[in-house]
């Protein structure tokens, strides 16, 4: 049995300040180690859960191996602490000045995905990519990568909540609905706890599946999830029914928002009559298929309104409504307020 090193290190000064905490669990990494360096750029109102979920597996890897496998620094655009979307402020060590191509630059953002990063930051990201550096996007970090023009012909993902608006902002970029994607020097993650899965995959690539599984156990993460895992639960679980025909109809509704299908066509696609589909929806979902379909489209519109500066008329078209007035009536029936009120709230928060 390999003996665990007796030196208790909390900060390894010889490896660029890498954190190497002591702990009871130990997993020997016997080969020579070259410290892999990460730079996390925190943008205003970043998602704290996603950020910490990305950092902690690196810390645990160092602790388990008692080696400086990973080193990380935390930056902001101006060198000042950054407030997360939960209101918790995080200190940083500086700005992006001096980031080298051997460091992986990870963009962490959240609520303000479309305007959080400055033009100077976007330029620094392009330069880092041009000189061969790796980049990552956590939560809505993929939006910043898209703004920098770095997602062309790349597999990528972002949090499902932000996907409707992204389609409108970047119609030529096709995202995946998976929890994370790794494509060459670009990796992206939907955020939340999925950032753990992303980092576990990277650790497995660097030091093997057994070591990565041990890190997962230390995180009490349970079964590791891989790239193929989708962000949201199965449709059957989401709508709480196992009726295969209802599931198929709801799937068609979700796939046809901008150009809604007629209810007769939806019913016919699964061999139902219009009366049968109405009866089955009432039984399974407690509402008519027309109301259910309308709410799907209105929810889609709210996501666009919350994250873009598109006009109400433009959003109405994107959600398959015949007019802004029709969209407004449906929106108010769903949320008890008008789309204009949401627009005003967004302006007040800027």
Q: What is the topology classification, in CATH, of domain 17-218? A: Rossmann fold (3.40.50)
Q: Give the number of C-alpha atoms closer than 13 A to the C-alpha of residue 56, restricted to the C-beta side.
A: 19
Q: What is the DSSP string of 233-296?
A: PPHHHHHT---HHHHHHHHHHHH-SSSPPPHHHHHHHTT--HHHHHHHHHHHHSS-HHHHHHHH
* Residue 90 backbone phi and psi in degrees, to 5: -120, 130
The residue ranges of every structural domain in the chain are 17-218, 235-349
Q: Mind listing the pLDDT tens digit for each residue in 176-224?
A: 999 999 999 999 999 889 999 999 999 999 999 999 999 999 999 877 7
pTM of the model: 0.80
Q: What's the pLDDT score for residue 225?
A: 79
63 pLDDT higher than 50:
yes
Q: Mind listing the pLDDT tens digit for each residue in 82-112?
A: 999 999 999 999 999 878 989 999 999 998 8
| Contact predicate 89/49, CB 8 Å | no
| Contact predicate 178/157, CB 8 Å | yes
Q: Domain 235-349 classified CATH 3.40.630.30?
A: no
Q: Mind listing the pLDDT tens digit for each residue in 128-171?
A: 999 999 999 999 999 999 999 999 999 999 998 899 899 999 99
* Pairing outcome for strands 82-83 and 89-90: antiparallel
């Amino acid at each position: 049995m390999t003996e665990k090193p007796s030196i208790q290190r909390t900060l390894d000064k010889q490896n660029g300040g890498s954190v190497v905490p002591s702990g009871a669990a130990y997993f020997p990494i016997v080969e020579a180690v070259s410290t892999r360096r990460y730079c996390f750029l925190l943008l205003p109102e970043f998602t704290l859960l996603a950020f910490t979920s990305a950092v902690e597996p690196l810390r645990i890897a160092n602790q388990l191996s008692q080696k400086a496998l990973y080193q990380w620094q935390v930056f902001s655009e101006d060198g000042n602490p950054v407030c997360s979307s939960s209101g918790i402020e995080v200190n940083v060590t500086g700005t992006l000045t001096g980031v080298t191509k051997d460091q992986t630059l990870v963009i962490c953002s959240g609520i303000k995905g479309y305007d959080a990063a400055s033009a100077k930051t976007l330029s620094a990201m392009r330069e880092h990519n041009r000189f061969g550096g790796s980049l990552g996007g956590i939560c809505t970090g993929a939006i910043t990568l898209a703004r920098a023009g770095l997602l062309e012909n790349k597999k990528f993902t972002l949090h499902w909540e932000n996907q409707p608006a992204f389609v409108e902002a970047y119609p030529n970029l096709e995202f995946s609905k998976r929890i994370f994607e790794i494509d060459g020097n670009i990796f992206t993650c939907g955020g939340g706890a999925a950032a753990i899965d992303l980092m576990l995959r990277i650790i497995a690539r660097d030091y093997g599946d057994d070591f990565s599984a041990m890190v997962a156990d230390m995180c009490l993460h349970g079964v590791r999830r891989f790239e193929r895992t989708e962000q949201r639960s199965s449709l059957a679980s989401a709508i709480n029914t196992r009726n295969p025909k209802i599931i198929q109809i709801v799937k068609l509704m979700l796939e046809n928002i901008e150009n809604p299908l007629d209810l007769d066509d939806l019913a016919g696609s699964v061999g139902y009559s219009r009366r049968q589909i109405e009866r089955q929806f009432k039984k399974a979902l407690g509402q008519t298929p027309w109301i259910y379909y309308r709410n799907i489209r209105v929810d889609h519109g709210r996501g666009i309104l919350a994250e873009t500066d598109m006009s109400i008329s433009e959003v109405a078209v994107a959600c398959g409504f015949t007019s802004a007035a029709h969209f407004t009536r449906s929106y108010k029936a769903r949320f008890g307020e008008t789309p204009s009120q949401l627009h005003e709230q967004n302006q007040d928060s800027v």
